Amino acid sequence: MPDFLLELRCEEIPARMQAGARVELERLFLREMEAAGVAVGDLTVWSTPRRLALIARGLPDATQAVSEEAKGPPEGAPDAAIEGFCRKNGVTRELLSLRDVKGRNTWFAVIEKPGRATRALLAEAIPAIIRDFSWPKSQRWGAASLSTESLRWVRPLSGIVAILGEELVDCAIDGIASGYATHGHRFHCPGEITIGGAADYQEKLRACHVIVDHEERAALIREGAHKVAADAGLTLVEDEGLVIENAGLTEWPVPLLGRFDEAFLDVPPEVIQLTARVNQKYFVCTSPLPLAGGAGGGPDPGMDSRGAPTPNPSRKREGDLANAFVCTANITAADPAVVVDGNRKVLAARLSDARFFWEQDLRKSLEEHAKGLERITFHEKLGTVADKAQRVAKLARWLCEEGIVKSGVPAQAGTSGGEAPGGTRSQPALGLTQAELADLAEQAALLCKADLVTEMVGEFPELQGLMGGYYARAEGLPDEVADAIRDHYKPVGQGDDVPTAPVTVAVSLADKLDTLVGFFVIKERPTGSKDPFALRRAAIGIIELILRNKLRVELDYATARAGNLISRFNEKRIGADANCEWVSEHLSEELFRAVPNFLADRLKVQQREAGVRHDLIDAVFALGGEDDLVRLLARVKALQGFITTEDGANLLAGYKRAANILKKEDWHGVEGEISRTGEEDPLAGVDDPDLAPVIAAKMSERHARELSHTPEPAEAALIDALDAAEPRAIAAIEAEDFAAAMSALASLRAPIDHFFDEVTVNAPQESVRASRLDLLARFRAAVHKVADFSQIEG
Amino acid sequence: MSDLAPNRDPKRSFQDMILTLHDFWSVQGCLILQPYDMRMGAGTFHTATTLRALGPEPWKAAFVQPCRRPTDGRYGENPNRLQHYYQYQVILKPSPPDIQELYLESLRVIGVDPLRHDIRFVEDDWESPTLGAWGLGWEVWCDGMEVTQFTYFQQMGGFDCKPVAGELTYGLERLAMYIQGVDNVYDLAFNSAGVSYGDVFLENERQMSKWNFEVADTAALFDLFGKAEAECRNCLAHDVPIAAYEQAVEASHVFNLLQARGVISVQERASYMGRVRDLARASCEKYAEQMAPGWQAKYPEWSL
C-alpha cells in the first residue's frame, strides 16, 4: 500500500487563492480516483506560494480485477445478432454460455476486466487534474502561448513531482514532465533537490527552508508575531486574516518587529492600522502599560473633552496603539535590522501620506467639504450626493418632529453612540428636547456625507463615516453630531451594531429611507439576484433600526414623506409642470404599498434567518394591513409563545377541524348564500334600490332562522365563550397586549373541544346546520383576529 | 581602450544603476532603446511595449521611459513623490521560462542581495482599460517596498496576446533610494561625481508642479485635447495607425493635465476617459489589422 506524492510547482500563487486551490486539488484528485476505481483513504493537501502538494496514503498498487456479466440475445437468435453481441463485448462465440432467464435459454458473456496498476492510472489522472483545474483567474505564458489553446494556470506552471511509493509516476503536460526534482526556498536554497517520496517530502523541504504545511506556517506567524510584540513589552492586535495572508506570501516566515516615529500616532488609529494592514500586510500593536514620559508625568493626564484637536489624545493609555509594527519576512535575513529598517521606511512614507491627508482635510470645515458633494452624482435621476444630503436632513428632522425618533430613548450599553474613541464623550442625549434633537439631526445629516470628498476617504474608502466623525469632533461640533456622522452607515449587514443614540438613529434611518424609496420611485428595484443598489441591505438596516429602538412608524406614511422630498427635488430638476406628470407616474398608490411590502418581505427573511418559525411569520403577515413592524413582530413572538403551549396546540387542532368542515361544506356564511343571485360579486346588488329590500328580507330571514333552534349545551357554551373572548381579544390587540390576546383565544380551547365532542354540525334540519356552520365560521373569524391559523403547520 | 572599460558603481550612482541594467539586459539579447519622445504616464505607452506586444513575432527590448504624472507633483517638497520620474521597462516576448530568475539576477547586479533583503512577489494584476489591455502578475517587494511591476500581458488593444509577453517595470528612483540608502529622492547621487538628483530635477519639480496645478491654460488644454482627438481620427482614416496611436498618447496626457488643473468634474471624467480609450483602442486595432497579413504569412498557424 504505497503513499502517493504530487507536487505542482509554479510561480507565486496569490495568497488569497491558495485555500481554494487546496480544495480544488482535493476535489479533482478524488474525482479521478473514483472514476478509476482507486479507493482513497488518508489525504493531505498543502500549499505554499510556489507549490501545491497532495499526499494520498496507502493507495492500492493496482485496482481489483473485476468480472462482469453481460446478457445477450436468446438461444436461436440470428447469427448476426449473436456476433454483434460478441464484438461489442470483445469475446469469441465459444466463450459465451447459456443460462436460463425466465424459462428461456439466453446467451451470456463473462467479461474479465483485469486490474490496472495505480501508477498508470495516476499518470493519466495528473494531466486531467491540471487541465480541469479551476482558478479564479488564470493565464497563458511562454512560447506555447502563440496559440490561445495553450495550457492555463494561475501563473506559469514550472514543475511536477509525482511519486507513488518510490517510483516515478511518468506523465507530462505541455512540455512539463514529471520528475523527482523540486526546488527549495527561492533564495536560501536555490538549487534542485531530489525527493524520494511522500515520506521524506516535508522534511526535505524543511531542510531547504520551505515549510510546506500552510497551517504550520500560520502557527509560526501567529506565535512569532505575539512573541516579538511581547518581547518589546507590547500586545499584538490579533488579525487572523493577516496571519493567513502572510502564510500565503511566505515559505519561510520570520515575524520581525519594527518601530515608527511616534509623531504619526496623531493620525487616527484606524488609519494607521488600515495603512499597515492593507498596503503592507503588517500587524500593529498596543501598549499594555502607560509609556514613560507622558505630559505631566502622571499616570493619566485626564484629557479634556473639548478643545484638543488631536483625535487620539489619550494615546498614552493602556490598550492604545503603539508606534510599532510586525512584518513577516520570507527569509532568515543576514541582518534582520536591515529588513526591518526598509519596512519602516515604507511604512513611514505611507503614514506621512496619511498624515498629509489628515492635515489637509482638517484645513477645511466639514461644511466646506460638503460643498464638494455637489460634484458627485448619487444617481442620474436622484441628483448629486449634496441633493441626497439635503433630503436626508429634511427627513431626519421630520422623523424627530413627528416623534418617531424620540429624545428619551435610553441609549443602551454595548452599542454605538456611547463612547467616542477618545473616551471623551459623556453627555447622553436624554437631556435634549424634541426640537433640539431635530436641529442636531438636521445638522448631522447635512454633514454626514462630507467626508466622501476628503483626501483620507479618497485613499481609504472603508473609512467613510469614521473620518467624518473625527473631523466633526476636531472642529468642535457637538458629540451627538459627530457620533451620528460616524455611525450613520450602521447597521451594515447582519450582526453589525445598531445605533441607539437618537440623533444617529434619525440620520441613519433617514439616509436609508431616502435610498430605498428613491430607487423604488425611479423603478430601480431589486429583481431576483440583482440588487445593484444594495436595497435589500438598506431595508434590513431600516428594519433593525426600527426594531432595536422600538420606533413606531407607519411605513406608508414615511414612504410618502420620503417620496414627497424626492418629488420636490425633481421639481427643481425638471420644472413644476413636467413634475406633475412625473409624480402621477412615479409616486402612485402602488409605491406606498410596494415599499412597506418590500420591508415586510425582508423582515420575514430576517426573522426566518433568526430562527423564528416561518409558518408563524406567515400566519401573522397573512392578516395584511399591518405596516408597523414593531407590532407585527410582537404578535409573531406572542404567537410563537402560545402555539407551543398545550392550549395553543389544541386550539390549533380545533381550528383546523373547524376550518376543514367549513371548507368541506363550502360554507361561505350568509353572504355566500346571497351569491346565488348569480352576480359575480356576491354583494354586487346590495346597493341596487330594487334588489336591496329583497336582500334585506333574505338576511333577516336567515338571521331569524339562526335563532330558531335551542342550542345544545356545548353549542351554547361555545357561543358564550366567543361572546366573552372576542371583545377581550380585540381589546388586547388594540392595547398591543398580544399575550392577553392569546390567552383570550386559549379560553376557547375547552369549548371548541367540547363542541366537537358533543354536537353534530351536520344536523338534519337545514337551519340548525346553517347556524352551527355559522358558529364555526365565527370561531374561525375570532381566531383570525389574532393570526391566520391556517398558515400554521402541525 | 581600457580607459573606456566600464567601471560601474550602481550602488552609489543613479546613472550607473541604469547603465548596469542596460548592460545586463543587453547581454540577455534585448534591444536597448531610447525613451519615446512624447509625454506619457507610463513606459507601457511606448510603442515598443504596446504595439510590439501584438502579433506573433519575438521581441526583446529594454529602455528608460520618463513618466509624467501631473497630479503627483508636490512642488519638490515631498521626499517620495514626483510629477516626472523614470521607469525602466523590459519587454520579453514570448515570456522566457526563466524570466523570474533573470529579473532577480538583474536586482543582484545593481546591488540588491536577496539574503539581506526580503524580496517578495505579491499579487498585483494589471489592467489598462485605456489600452484595452490586461495581464496577471505581481508587484515585487523589497523589504515591503514595491520596486517593480511584473506582468504577463494577456490582452492588448482588445486582442489576445499570442504569444504572451512578460513586462518588467522598475521604479528607478525608488530602487535607487533603496540601494543608495537615502530617504529623500532629491538626495540621490545622480553620478559618482557629486551631482545629486535634486541638482538635476528639484527646480523642474517646483516649476512643473506650479504649471500643472496653477498655470496651465485650461482653455488651450481643452483645445489641445480636441485637436489630438481629431488628428487621431484623421490618421486612422489615412491608415497610419502608429501616428494615430501617438495622438491617443497625446490626448491621454492632456487629459491628465486637465485633471491636475481640477477642471474636469467627476461626471465628465468618465466621458473623457472613454474618449481616450476609444482612440487608443482604435489605433491598436488598426495597427493589428494592418500588420496581420504579414504576420500570418510568416506564422501560418497564427491568427489575430
Mean pLDDT of A653-671: 79
For residues A490 and A505, the answer to whether their CB atoms sit within 8 Å is no
Residue A679 has pLDDT above 50, yes or no: no
Q: Which of A640, A663, A634, A664 is nearest to A652 (CA)?
A: A640
Q: Which of residues 311-340 of A touch B (CB under 8 A)?
A: 327, 329-331, 333-335, 338-339
CA–CA distance, B257 with A774 (Å, rounded to integer): 84
Residue A15 has pLDDT above 60, yes or no: yes
Q: Taking CB atoms and an 8 Å limit, are A343 and B122 in contact across chains?
A: no
Of the residues A18, A145, A338, the best mutation for testing chain B's interface (the one with the most B CB atoms within 10 Å of its CB) is A145
Q: Is A105 helix (H, G, I), strand (E, B) or coil?
A: strand
Q: Which three cell numbers stand for residue A360?
A: 489637509
User: Which has more confidence, A105 or A207?
Assistant: A207
Residue A412 has pLDDT above 60, yes or no: no
pLDDT band of B207, cuts 50, 70, 90: very high
Q: Pick from B56, B143, B160: which is nearest to A148 by CB?
A: B160
Which range, A454-468, A686-700, B10-24, has the best average confidence (pLDDT)?
B10-24
pLDDT band of A785, cuts 50, 70, 90: confident
Q: Pick from B79, B100, B116: which is nearest to A333 by CB?
A: B116
Mean pLDDT of A321-331: 97
CA–CA distance, A416 with A404 (Å, rounded to integer): 20
3-state SS string for chain B: CHHHCCCCCCCCCHHHHHHHHHHHHHHCCCEECCCCCCCCCCHHHCCCCCHHHCCCCCEEEEEEEEEECHHHCCCCCCCCCCCEEEEEEEEEECCCCCHHHHHHHHHHHCCCCCCCCCEEEEECCEEEHHHCEEEEEEEEEECCEEEEEEEEEEEECCEECCCCCEEEEEEHHHHHHHHHCCCCHHHCECCCCCCEHHHHHHHHHHHHHHHHHHHCCHHHHHHHHHHHHHHHHHHHHCCCHHHHHHHHHHHHHHHHHHHHCCCCCHHHHHHHHHHHHHHHHHHHHHHHHHHHHHHHHHCCCCCC
Q: What is the pLDDT of residue B189?
A: 98
Of the residues A346, A373, A381, A384, the best mutation for testing chain B's interface (the one with the most B CB atoms within 10 Å of its CB) is A346
Q: What is the pLDDT of residue B231?
A: 98
Question: Phi and psi for A642 in degrees, rounded to 5?
Answer: -75, -45
Q: What is the pLDDT of residue A216?
A: 98
Q: What is the pLDDT of residue A254?
A: 98
pLDDT tens digits for range B254-285: 999 998 888 887 667 878 888 999 999 999 99
Residues of chain B neighbouring A347 (CB-CB closer than 8 A): 144
Mean pLDDT of B129-146: 92
Assess A275–B contact: CB distance below 8 Å, yes or no.
Answer: no
pLDDT tens digits for range A568-617: 998 988 888 888 888 888 888 889 889 988 998 898 888 888 888 888 88
Q: Pick from A14, A345, A356: which is nearest to B123 by CB?
A: A14
Q: What is the pLDDT of residue A299?
A: 37
Q: Taking CB atoms and an 8 Å limit, are A330 and B118 in contact across chains?
A: yes
Q: Which of A668, A660, A650 is nearest to A745 (CA)?
A: A650
Q: Taking CB atoms and an 8 Å limit, are B123 and A144 in contact across chains?
A: no
Burial state string for A576-598 with b = 16 or more CB within 10 A and e = fewer than 16: eeebeebbeebbeeebbebbbeb
Query: Rounded to an integer, what is the distance from CA A386 to the centroid of its chain?
Result: 30
Q: What is the pLDDT of residue A422?
A: 39
Q: Which of A737, A738, A749, A736 is nearest to A779 (CA)?
A: A749
Of the candidate ranges A481-495, A576-590, B53-67, the one whose mean pLDDT is the lowest:
A576-590
Residue A311 has pLDDT above 80, yes or no: no
CA distances (Å), origin B161, targets A154, A582, A788, B96, B296: 16, 51, 65, 15, 14
Q: Which three cell numbers stand for residue A185?
A: 526556498
Mean pLDDT of B49-75: 95
Q: Taking CB atoms and an 8 Å limit, are B118 and A12 in contact across chains?
A: no
Question: Measured on CA atoms in the order A451, A455, A457, A461, is the torsion positive or negative?
Answer: positive
Distance between B114 CA and the closest CA of chain A, angstroms: 6
Mean pLDDT for chain A overall? 86
User: Which has more confidence, A318 or A637?
Assistant: A637
pLDDT band of B247, cuts 50, 70, 90: very high
For residues A97 and A105, the answer to whether their CB atoms sit within 8 Å is no
Q: What is the pLDDT of residue A690?
A: 61
pLDDT band of A694, cuts 50, 70, 90: low
Residues of chain B neighbouring A345 (CB-CB closer than 8 A): 145, 183
What's the helix, strand, coil split of chain A in %, to 5?
55, 10, 35
Q: Which of residues 120-159 of A touch B (CB under 8 A)?
A: 137-148, 154-156, 158
For residues A314 and A348, the answer to whether their CB atoms sit within 8 Å is no
Q: What is the pLDDT of residue A172?
A: 96
Q: Is A141 helix (H, G, I), strand (E, B) or coil?
A: coil
Q: Which three cell numbers stand for residue A754?
A: 367540547
Q: Pick from B154, B178, B267: which is nearest to A139 by CB?
A: B154
| Half-sphere exposure for B293 (CA within 13 Å, toward CB) | 2
CA–CA distance, A197 with A179 (Å, rounded to integer): 11
Mean pLDDT of A425-429: 43
CA–CA distance, A112 with A115 (Å, rounded to integer): 9
Using a CB cutoff of 8 Å and minimum separation of 24, what contacts does B219-227 make? B221/B254, B221/B257, B221/B258, B221/B261, B222/B258, B224/B250, B224/B254, B225/B251, B225/B254, B225/B255, B225/B258, B225/B272
Q: Which three cell numbers stand for residue A11?
A: 510561480
Q: Is A240 helix (H, G, I), strand (E, B) or coil?
A: helix
For residues B245 and B51, the answer to whether their CB atoms sit within 8 Å is yes
Of the residues A146, A209, A327, A355, the best mutation for testing chain B's interface (the one with the most B CB atoms within 10 Å of its CB) is A146
pLDDT tens digits for range A261-299: 999 999 999 999 999 998 899 999 999 755 444 443 333
Full-model pTM: 0.75
pLDDT tens digits for range B191-205: 999 999 999 999 999
8-state DSSP, A276: I
pLDDT tens digits for range A720-742: 888 888 888 888 888 888 888 88
Of the candidate ranges A222-236, A558-572, A691-705, the one whose mean pLDDT is the lowest:
A691-705
Q: Taking CB atoms and an 8 Å limit, are B115 and A187 in contact across chains?
A: yes
Q: Taking CB atoms and an 8 Å limit, are A146 and B163 in contact across chains?
A: yes
Query: Rounded to an integer, what is the distance from CA A174 to the centroid of its chain?
Result: 42
Q: Which residue of A has its CA nearest to B160?
A: A148
Q: Taking CB atoms and an 8 Å limit, are A146 and B121 in contact across chains?
A: no
pLDDT tens digits for range B144-163: 999 999 999 999 988 999 99
Mean pLDDT of A456-480: 92
Q: Which three cell numbers stand for residue B271?
A: 466621458
Helices A713-734 and A738-746 cross at an angle (nearest 10°) of 180
Distance between A272 CA and the closest CA of chain B, angstroms: 16
Helices B218-237 and B266-298 cross at an angle (nearest 10°) of 30
Q: What is the pLDDT of residue A316?
A: 52
Residues of chain A neighbouring B176 (CB-CB closer than 8 A): none
Q: With pLDDT > 70 as the criterion, what percentage of chain A qualifies?
A: 88
Residue A314 has pLDDT above 50, yes or no: no
Q: Taking CB atoms and an 8 Å limit, are A331 and B118 in contact across chains?
A: yes
Q: Which residue of A has its CA nearest to B181?
A: A342
CA–CA distance, A190 with A205 (Å, rounded to integer): 12
Question: Measured on CA atoms in the order A472, A478, A479, A485, is the torsion positive or negative?
Answer: negative
pLDDT band of A122, cuts 50, 70, 90: very high
Assess A376–B contact: CB distance below 8 Å, yes or no.
Answer: yes
Specify the residue for cell string 514529471. Answer: A178
Residues of chain A neighbouring B135 (CB-CB closer than 8 A): 139
CA–CA distance, A95 with A787 (Å, rounded to integer): 75
pLDDT band of A414, cuts 50, 70, 90: very low
End-to-end CA distance of chain A: 55
For residues B198 and B186, the answer to whether their CB atoms sit within 8 Å is yes
Q: What is the pLDDT of residue A427?
A: 44
Residue A129 has pLDDT above 80, yes or no: yes
Q: Which residue of B has its CA nearest to A159?
A: B97
Q: Which three cell numbers stand for residue A659?
A: 376550518
Q: What is the pLDDT of residue A705?
A: 46
Q: Which residues contact A294 (CB under 8 A, 6 or more apart)?
A: A300, A301, A316
Q: Which of residues 45-74 of A touch B (CB under 8 A)?
A: 49
User: Which spans in A549-613 are helix H?
Assistant: 555-574, 576-586, 589-609
